[in-house]
Structure 1
Amino acid sequence: MKTAAGSVTGLRCLACNAFYPPELLYRCTACAGILEVERAKPFRRWDPSDFVREEVTLGEGGTPLRQVPSSLLHPDFRGALLVKDETRNPSGSFKDRLVAAALSRAIEFGASGIVSASSGNAGAAAACYAANAGIPAIICCPETTPHGKLAQIMAYGATLERVSGHYGNSFQRAMELCDQHGYVNLTTTYLNPYGVDALRLVGQEIFEALGGILPGWISIPTSSGPLVKGVFQGFLDTAEQVPRLVAAQSEGCAPIARAFAGGQDTVEPWELPQTIASGISDPLQGYPEEGSHTLSLIRKSGGEAVAVPDNYIKDAMVALARKAGLFCEPTGATSLAACRRLFSEGKIGMPDTVVCIITGHGFKDFSAWSDVEAHGIPS
């Protein structure tokens, strides 16, 4: 990796401000707080090679931002609607960005293998990049993970372990396996600070693609929230201000949106996730502080945390496919579904510029599309 203006200087705890030199560390040893990467200042226009080793990259990032019909948001909407199409990444989701960066750093630290807890997309990304790097990977997924995602993980040759119960159980199992094997943990919550750091490029790419103009809103499918952090940080890097961010969640698993609606500063774990949007079906059991950090960023941006029912998500999936030629999984469509709700509530204005991040490809979950067709969801 480069040792230029963008080089890593260390890790900083968000809770107690403790500082550590660059090393393989997942949480603050003093208070167990979330760690974030500190880089040499000034923060300006990172090159992707500041994050990812040449022998690791598969061409992730640099995804298109394109305008789609404003009627996709609402027939009365007169502003600009754009989609950041993260389905174009090598394994089909934005998780490739985190995994490429985290694996690059893991290799520098001498990793002999990797482990990732995943609802599907992160596991596919980890398996893909591990295969390319020639190192073993163990992926822990909930038993309810869509078959398309499991097939992709197995195709890359990773060891797949299916774990009963919700995603939090897979998270804990991955921690155990790392201890047993001495492997590096590439789980894509806030756990690996080097992976989260790479997501600042998403915010930077959006700002640059808009010609340096700040959009009104950016809507982001959200589980624990590293992508919210990345967009927030990327705009601070380049624009020195942040647009209103939307943490888009499903009503079947919405710990952050619940806390936002209740005016709370801390997020409580969700009880029993049940949603078609498997990529954001994370109850945050065992690490609710990650949701609290994301909630604070949403509030700092002046944005919203929104939960939408599954039928809204299905409708948004169909609309994106049939009116914008964008085939995405349910999680990816949640960003549009949330903006539709915000417009109907009068929070998104008639002339606003709205960006929806579409996080995962439709091939990830063909069963969801079968369900859509079976129920005849209109566009």
Structure 2
Amino acid sequence: MSAVITEQVPSADATSTEPATPGLRAGAFGHATSLTCRECGHELALGPHYACPECFGPLEIAYDFPAVTREQIEAGPANIWRYKALLPVPDDIEQSPNMEPGFTRLLKADNLARTLGIDNLWVKDDSTNPTNSFKDRVVACALSAATEFHAKVFACPSTGNLANAVAAAGARAGIKTVVFIPSNLEQPKQVNSAIFTESLVAVEGNYDDVNKLASEIAGEEDGWAFVNVNVRPYYAEGSKTLGYEIAEQLGWRLPDQIVIPVASGSQLTKVHKAFQELIKLGLVEDKPYKVYGAQATGCSPVSVAYKAGVDAIRPVKPDTIAKSLAIGNPADGIYVLDICRETGGAVED
């Protein structure tokens, strides 16, 4: 048995029958074809959209993937761009002033495996990314989208790790960055972000309060690309690279079980999406696997819903030292529940 643990994060008016956002160059989003509402199925043209204009449901990127082989992927660079054919990025992404995160180590944890009574246990170590977390993956995809949308400001609400990733990526690309954080965020994380941007805005309240403010600004200000708000569909796709890498590093096999920390829940849903895409493309064998979500006890609305056997997620006020997991109203919580239940996994705290 193999188990993998990974590290732990506006309205629209165009439809799929309308032209794409003006000014987009051909191939700006690779093989991505449209945005589709997860709830009602409504389609939108690719653009800086956050939610479905019909039901305000979250948007998912749809693709028309080309034939991709293991050999083509393995010949690519040792970072997330080896999977560029499966991401909403242009074919020339490697020539952009972007970060190059990914293809991080998959460590065999024999001592921990013995303690837990597991035959084979692997830990995905994303601490070796440019700013030491998986957020560099999602930010790289968000920056590509922001560039294609001619954004003048690259911004985010954050519990810490995302702020660091956005500030560093923006500095490298030469775009103005603004990051919004809870005022009680750990001082070391504030210092890390301040190294790369002078626009660090501390907001009274928790992450959900910060996110609300960011959403309001995104809806009012032109030229602002909030990575996890109005370019969230593109941003979230970066987490798929964790799933791609795990499968490739296991010898193009899927794990039997995978445990993923849950804050917003996006990472878990995208790793599952990555596994399904690899199966569809014939790059891995179609086999059962179980997905488990892990939450901090002081901020565990998804775990509470799972244990209660209900579908609704009741928001909570975070009370945990795990600030990076302190999202009391997780945007993808209901989808985490669906995936963990469908695969025979669980959500625990």
- Report TM bin, short chain: 0.7 to 0.9
Residue 162 of structure 1, CA deviation: 0.7
Residue deviations 1:305-343 (CA, integer Å, cap 9, x gap): 010xxxxxxxxxxxxxxxxxxxxxxxxxxxxxxxxxxxx
In the TM superposition, 1:271-290 aligns within 5 A as 272-284=317-329, 290=332
- Are the counterparts in 2 of residues 34 and 191 from structure 1 also a CA contact under 8 Å? no
Partner of residue 88 from structure 1, selected from 105, 112, 128: 128
Residue 166 of structure 1, CA deviation: 1.1
The answer to whether the aligner puts 1:299 opposite 2:338 as a matched pair is no
Q: State the 4+ residue runs in structure 1 displaced beyond 6 angstroms.
A: none
- Are the counterparts in 2 of residues 65 and 206 from structure 1 also a CA contact under 8 Å? yes
Q: What residue number does 1:35 align with?
A: 59
Compute the RMSD of aligned alpha carbons. Answer: 2.3
Residues of 2 paired with 1:226 and 1:97: CA distance? 13
Residue 56 of structure 1, CA deviation: 3.6
Partner of residue 306 from structure 2, selected from 234, 253, 260: 260
Q: What residue number does 1:245 align with?
A: 291
Q: What residue number does 2:99 align with?
A: 58
Residues of 1 paired with 2:318 and 2:141: CA distance? 29
Partner of residue 135 from structure 1, selected from 175, 180, 189: 175
Moved more, 44-53 or 216-225: 44-53
Distance 1:141 1:90, change over 3 A: same
Distance 1:251 1:216, change over 3 A: same
Residue 4 of structure 1, CA deviation: 10
In the TM superposition, 1:184-199 aligns within 5 A as 184-188=224-228, 192-199=232-239
TM-score (normalizing by structure 1): 0.74
Structure 1: gaps of 5 or more residues = 308-379
- Are the counterparts in 2 of residues 10 and 37 from structure 1 also a CA contact under 8 Å? yes
Distance 1:76 1:254, change over 3 A: closer
- Are the counterparts in 2 of residues 99 and 186 from structure 1 also a CA contact under 8 Å? no
Residue deviations 1:35-93 (CA, integer Å, cap 9, x gap): 01001136856744344533143211111112022x32553614111111111111111
TM-score (normalizing by structure 2): 0.80
Q: What residue number does 1:18 align with?
A: 42
Residues of 1 paired with 2:229 and 2:46: CA distance? 19
Partner of residue 255 from structure 2, selected from 192, 206, 215: 215
Distance 1:246 1:122, change over 3 A: same
- Are the counterparts in 1 of residues 142 and 227 from structure 2 also a CA contact under 8 Å? no
In the TM superposition, 1:76-115 aligns within 5 A as 77-115=117-155
Structure 2: gaps of 5 or more residues = 1-24, 74-81, 281-285
Equivalent residue letter for 1:282? I
Equivalent residue letter for 2:259? S
Residues of 2 paired with 1:256 and 1:302: CA distance? 16
SS at match of 1:250: coil
Residues of 2 paired with 1:255 and 1:115: CA distance? 27
Q: What residue number does 2:108 align with?
A: 67
Residue 203 of structure 1, CA deviation: 0.7
Relative to total residues, which structure has the larger helix share, 1 or 2? 1
Residues of 2 paired with 1:121 and 1:166: CA distance? 15
Equivalent residue letter for 1:275? T
Q: What residue number does 1:316 align with?
A: none
Distance 1:78 1:194, change over 3 A: closer
- Are the counterparts in 2 of residues 190 and 224 from structure 1 also a CA contact under 8 Å? no
Residues of 2 paired with 1:166 and 1:9: CA distance? 36
Q: What residue number does 1:360 align with?
A: none
